Amino acid sequence: MNINCNDMNNKRLIINGLLALLLVTTASCESWISVEPSDRLTEDEVFSSQKGFLQSLNGIYAEMNNTNVYGGNLSVGVVDVLAQYYDGGTDNSYAYYYYSRYDYTATSAKATFASVWSKMYSLISSVNILLEKCDQADFLTPQYQRIIKGEALALRAMLHLDLLRLYGPVMPANGSEKAIPYVTVADQSIQDILTGDVVIGKVLQDLNEASGLLASTDPVLTDGVRNNPQNGENIDFCYRQYRLNYFAVQVLLARAHLWNGNKAEALAIAEDAISKAGPLFPFTTVATATGAYPDRMFSSEVIFSLYNTNRINVFRKYFAPTLETRNILSFAGTLDSGRVPELYDSQNDLRYKMWSASAEGDNDLIFNKYEDVALKDGSTSHYCYMMPLIRLSELYLIAAECETDFSKALSYVNTLRNKRNCPSLAPADAEALMSVIMSEFRKETIGEGQMFFFYKRHAMQNIPNGSATSGDMNMLLKNYVVPIPESEIDNRL
């Protein structure tokens, strides 16, 4: 991995409000930060206190909201287009036409995936600086040191895992093929491109270390998410839904083991996490999800989310009814005919209620999951800022997929369906059950950037054609592998 001087322009650390210390780039390739003006801090100043470490870590979380990554492309946007959720249009006047057709040679697509790559490795570089300083900070108390380092290691693993899932080969069958660099150093030296097998091994190593660090110190294990601290309470370890807490690490471990084809280990982790996390991250209720101020995030069951105070702009950019048809992300068809009734077998489904017909006089369907919900007093709830990346339902679907006992696997699926206000199903065999699992996963993760990776992990060669109101498309396995940016390859010549 290499970041050149142009990518490092204007790099600096900015104190932003009460929580965020945002990491951006400096004019020099020799130092990641400059001393002046007064709103800039040197590395030594930033990492001279426990508060400085927490602010730096918060800054990394905040930067993950960047549109190039989890604030757009890797959640609600391009990766979900690759999953064929949305109608990509009939010609290149449509904003997502090339992505829906896997034309990675198009100028816009090349620029998008180069930006994803660059931003992800910039975040990884910031994490590595934090980890390096954390190991040197003997003034950190044991709890602070373990939680800060545990979260940072989990971040490094998560970012690399998503890079592997996007740019790497279809695994585990092609794990011996070259994939991506796994960067663990704070400098900007070029790192070798490793095979998928080696990368997943390093992901698991970081996650296992993070799990060990958080297992005895993360208050989420005893106190839950702690979203309502009392007056005068130290909030450093509150709001655990917005951090890579212990249970988020367990889900990442299960994801990584699944990516590596290790279903037995993924099942063991998922079942253990369900038993421990279930009471702390309870399923949403019908009343909460459909009341006067609906919680469409199902926020109580979100295990890890980014906190994005500009999330309303996500809705406006991708889903708002005022958008032209060529710019909106929408299912093909109508509420009565097309992809919505095909996917949702019950109109009582809490997830079905996230769709509505446009009031703008066109035929677009509006996905309301990310729309702001104003409360009675005119304020907005904390879930209006959620960008969910890990939720409880994924554990149930992982357990259902990996469980060899048919009845037990089906119970995981029907538990989830019942919580979504849907009736239980009785698929005839394992193949039919897998089809149900896939359908539930599709409904659960719209706008969260996971479905494309589900298809890729299963090497599926027939997937729903998002640009048609029904039917599948032939998916070439090569379309699951986004090319590494040309600039990255050129740096190695």
The pLDDT of residue 295 is: 94
Predicted confidence at residue 41, as pLDDT, reads: 54
Distance CA 130, CA 33 (A): 13
pLDDT digits 0-9 by tens, 4-40: 323 333 333 323 322 333 333 322 222 222 223 334 4
Asked whether 115 and 68 are in contact (CB, 8 A), the reply is: yes
For residue 321, whether the previous peptide bond is cis, meaning omega lies within 30 degrees of 0, is no
Instruction: Give pLDDT, residue 362.
Output: 82
Q: What is the pLDDT of residue 149?
A: 98
pLDDT reported for residue 108: 97
Could you read off the pLDDT of 273-330 as tens digits, one per residue? 999 999 999 999 999 999 988 999 999 999 999 999 999 999 999 999 999 999 999 9
Q: What's the confidence (pLDDT) of residue 383?
A: 82
Q: What is the mean pLDDT of the chain?
A: 90
Q: Are 167 and 145 in contact (CB under 8 A)?
A: no
pLDDT of residue 43: 74
Q: Which residues in the chain show pLDDT less than 70?
A: 1-42, 375-380, 382, 493
Three-class DSSP labels, the chain: CCCCCCCCCCCCEEEECCCEEEECCCCCCCCCCCCCCCCCCCHHHHCCCHHHHHHHHHHHHHHCCCCCCCCCCCCCCHHHHHCCCCCCCCCCCCCCHHHHCCCCCCHHHHHHHHHHHHHHHHHHHHHHHHHHHHHHCCCCCHHHHHHHHHHHHHHHHHHHHHHHHHHCCCCCCCCCCEEECCCCCCCCCCCCCEEHHHHHHHHHHHHHHHHHHHHCCCCHHHHCCCCCCCCCCCCCCCCHHHCCCHHHHHHHHHHHHHHCCCHHHHHHHHHHHHHHHCCCCCCCCHHHHHCCCCCCCCHHHEEEEEECCCHHHHHHHHCCCCCCCCCCCCCCECCCCEHHHHHCCCCCCCCHHHEEECCCCCCCEEECCCCCCECCCCCECHHHHEEEEEEHHHHHHHHHHHCCCHHHHHHHHHHHHHHCCCCCCCCCCHHHHHHHHHHHHHHHCCCCCCHHHHHHHCCCCEEECCCCCCCEEECCHHHHCCCCCHHHHHCCC
One-letter amino acid identity for 430? A
Q: Residue 375's pLDDT is what?
A: 67
With tokens 């697509």, the residue in question is: 109
Query: For the segment 477-491, what is each residue's pLDDT rounded down to a tens digit?
Result: 999 999 999 989 887
Q: pLDDT by residue (tens digit) across 107-138? A: 999 999 999 999 999 999 999 999 999 999 99
Q: What is the pLDDT of residue 187?
A: 83
Token pair for 416: 């989830």
